[in-house]
Structures are given as C-alpha cells and as structure tokens.
Amino acid sequence: PHSYPAGFVYIFLGLYYATGHGTDIRLAQYLFAGLYLLNLLLVFRIYCQTSKVPPYVFFFMCCASYRIHSIFVLRLFNDPVAMAILFLAINLFLEEHWSWGCLLFSLAVSVKMNILLFAPGLLFLLLQRFGLLGCIPKLCICALLQVVLGLPFLLVNPMGYLTRSFDLGRQFQFKWTVNWRFLPEEVFQNRAFHAMLLLAHLAGLGLFALHRWHSASLSWGKEPCCTAGIAPPASCVCPLDTSAQIVFVLFSSNFLGVCCSRSLHYQFYVWYFHTLPYLLWCTPTTKLAHMLKVLLLGVIELCWNTYPSTVCSSLSLHVCHGLVLLQLWYGTAPVMVSHPSPPSRRTTATSKKA
C-alpha cells in the first residue's frame, strides 16, 4: 500500500526510469526546473486573463521565495506536479473547455489529494454553469479517470488502495507542523480538534458560497459564445469579469481549506503560494494598501522559511491568513445599488408642457 493515488505512481515511475533508476539526481532537478517554468507560465496566463494583480507583484512570485524553489528543484516533491496540472485545468476552465478541464483536475487529484481543496469551488462553478443535471457528466469524467488510473490497484486490493491513497483521517507528525506549533502536541493529535477544524472549514465554505460566490453572480451570458444554453465553440474565452470570478471561487475555496488544515508541512506551501497575489489584489486596493499587502506576502514567506517552526512563526502565519480572509470577506461584499425613485406625475406633466 502507498499513501498517494495512482497518478503519482505513474508519473514518478516515469521519472525513476528517466533518471537511471533514480540515480541521476541532476537530470531530475533539470526536469523539475522545467516544471517550475511551466508552472509559472500557466499561473501568469491565469493572472493575465483576470487583470487583477499589478505587474510588479510577479517579481515576488518569481524571485522572492526560497522555499518554493527548494520544493521544486531541491526536494522534488509531488506537490508541484499536482499544482502544475491543476493550473493547466484552470486555464482550460477559463477557455470554456470544461470537460477537458475536469479531466485534468481529476488527474491532478490522482497525484496529490490536496487538490480536493479546490473541489467545492469547482462544484459550485459547474452547478452555476451547467445546472444539476448538466454537471453530472463532468463529475463522471472526474470519477472515471480515477477508476481507470487506479484499476491495477483496485483489482488487487480495492479497500487498501482507497483507504490509504485517500486517507482523510491521516495523523500528521507534530515535529513537521508549520501552522500549529503553538499548541500542545496532545491537542494537535486530538480528534475533537480535528473535528472542530472540519466544522470551521465547512462553515467557511458555506458562508462564502452563499454570501460571496453566489453574490458574485457569474455572468455566463455576457458574450454570445458563453451563453448557458449554447455549447461554446473551441475558441471561446470567458469575458474578463467572469474569468476573475472563476479564479476567485477556486482560489478562495482552496485557501479556506489551507486555513483549516490539521497540519501544514513545508512542501504544502506550494498549495497556495501562487494564488496569494490574486487573493490579496482581487479586492479594491488603495496606494497605501499595496505596501501592506506586499508586507503581508513577506511575513508569510518568513513564516514558511523558519525551520523548525516556532510558536511565533506559526501564530504569525495564522494572523496573516486571518487578515487575508478578512479582506476577502469585506473586500468582495456586494455593493447595495440605490435605485432612483420614479418621477412624480406633476414633474412628468410639467416636462410634457415644456
């Protein structure tokens, strides 16, 4: 039994043979460096289609994170592989290729289970875009790929494969935690604490779905090719405001899961690092707030570069996450539009006389 789904096995088996049974580490690093550049390209393409983040922020995304470079090129984790596939899926969603996007999304899940943190947002988008019956084929695509990839393991030991590869109750080691270092280890391992985090996660998703995602009112019909009742052509790209809303729903869904995680290890930083600029700048920003948001990125980076984690670093990380959540909640609140009162009969009669 292994602790990752089947897609991970196939991809790293290919890397194993490509690097001479895992002996040519330099070649593996070159391959991961290429993956890093591809990941940046996919992220930049998403940001360009939303036009929310100022260009200077991309410098921090590329050059200012020692931890991200370490995860990709020094550690060779499977987390960046899953995230690169996920960003490719989001690009397909923005181009209205929902079936192909669901296929790639499921492939990313088969590499690392953390991609499921995006699943509530994706389900919300599918329901809004296609309705209850229309989203069933898309969900079947996701499920079918998991069955096909896991077939060699499902035929031999289905329960072993499912319970180990998709183990939602997995216990994490306290010595590696980045976000809960300030808690006693007994509390960190306590099942009641895990249940409380799960309830907080579900409550956050419910609140955002009802009051932020739903109020965003994704406007599928603003362009002729994106009309809900008509199958869009291959060249269709969502209008700018809809692209921004799609990315907001997916990124905020993932961020809520990160905030409520039972433990964050150092390689988990890649789960949301490339989404942080969007989460910070997708809301209206004053000139002074630009500096504060850059400072917030710097503090988060400092927390993830503190090894081993300390009480101060883990508390600081929670404070930063809380500030991001607050500005997401209040910065995306629907604006009440006041409708002008209809003119009185006397005013209308006077205007007609004139």
The whole-number pLDDT of residue 229 equals: 44
Does pLDDT of 217 surpass 80?
A: no
Does pLDDT of 42 surpass 80?
A: yes
236 pLDDT band (50/70/90 cuts)?
Answer: low
Residue 342 forms part of a structural domain: no
Residue 24 forms part of a structural domain: yes
Contact, 19 vs 27, CB < 8 A?
Answer: yes
Kindly report which listed range (41-50, 100-109, 219-228, 270-279) carries the lowest average pLDDT score: 219-228
Q: Scanning the structure block, which residue is given the tokens 């296609």?
A: 130
Does pLDDT of 60 surpass 50?
A: yes
What share of the chain has pLDDT > 90, as a percent? 70
The whole-number pLDDT of residue 132 equals: 92
Rounded to whole angstroms, the Cα distance separating 18 from 199 reads: 44
pTM of structure: 0.88
Does pLDDT of 351 surpass 90?
A: no
The whole-number pLDDT of residue 133 equals: 93
Residue 158 forms part of a structural domain: yes
340 pLDDT band (50/70/90 cuts)?
Answer: low
Angle, vertex CA 127, rays to CA 166 and CA 139, nearest 5: 40
Does pLDDT of 334 surpass 80?
A: no
The whole-number pLDDT of residue 241 equals: 78
Residue 230 forms part of a structural domain: no
The whole-number pLDDT of residue 284 equals: 83
The whole-number pLDDT of residue 343 equals: 53
Rounded to whole angstroms, the Cα distance separating 103 from 99 reads: 6
- Counting the structural domains of the chain, the total is 1
Per DSSP, helices labelled H in the chain are: 6-18, 25-50, 57-63, 66-69, 79-94, 98-109, 119-154, 158-165, 185-188, 191-208, 240-259, 276-281, 287-304, 311-331, 345-353
Task: Give the DSSP letter string of 35-89.
Answer: HHHHHHHHHHHHHHHHT-S-TTHHHHHHHS-HHHHIIIIIS--SHHHHHHHHHHH
Does pLDDT of 348 surpass 70?
A: no
Does pLDDT of 220 surpass 70?
A: no
Does pLDDT of 339 surpass 90?
A: no
349 pLDDT band (50/70/90 cuts)?
Answer: low
The whole-number pLDDT of residue 231 equals: 46
Which residue from 12, 33, 9 is spatially nearest to 21, judged by alpha carbons? 12
Which residue from 68, 83, 41, 70 is spatially nearest to 254, judged by alpha carbons? 83
The range of the structural domain enclosing residue 292 comes to 6-217+240-331
Backbone angles phi, psi at 160, to 5 degrees: -60, -40
232 pLDDT band (50/70/90 cuts)?
Answer: very low
25 pLDDT band (50/70/90 cuts)?
Answer: very high
Burial per residue of 96-116, b for 16 or more beta-carbon CB atoms within 10 angstroms, e otherwise: bbbeebbbbbbbbbbbbbbbb
Q: Over the stretch 87-137, which tens digit does the pLDDT of each residue have?
A: 999 999 999 999 999 999 999 999 999 999 999 999 999 999 999 999 999
Rg (CA), the chain: 23
Higher local confidence (pLDDT), 233 or 163 = 163
Mean pLDDT, the chain, rounded, equals: 88
Residue 336 forms part of a structural domain: no
The whole-number pLDDT of residue 233 equals: 46
Angle, vertex CA 337, rays to CA 331 and CA 340, nearest 5: 160
Any idea of the CA torsion for 95, 210, 197, 138, to the nearest 10 degrees? Answer: -40
Does pLDDT of 342 surpass 60?
A: no
Kindly report which listed range (5-14, 104-113, 117-126, 162-171) carries the lowest average pLDDT score: 162-171
The whole-number pLDDT of residue 215 equals: 65
Higher local confidence (pLDDT), 227 or 67 = 67
Residue 352 forms part of a structural domain: no
Q: Over the stretch 145-160, which tens digit does the pLDDT of each residue have?
A: 999 999 999 999 999 8
Which residue from 82, 63, 75 is spatially nearest to 29, judged by alpha carbons? 75
The whole-number pLDDT of residue 170 equals: 79
Q: Over the stretch 269-285, which tens digit does the pLDDT of each residue have?
A: 999 999 999 999 998 87
Higher local confidence (pLDDT), 287 or 187 = 187
The whole-number pLDDT of residue 240 equals: 64
Rounded to whole angstroms, the Cα distance separating 337 from 321 reads: 31
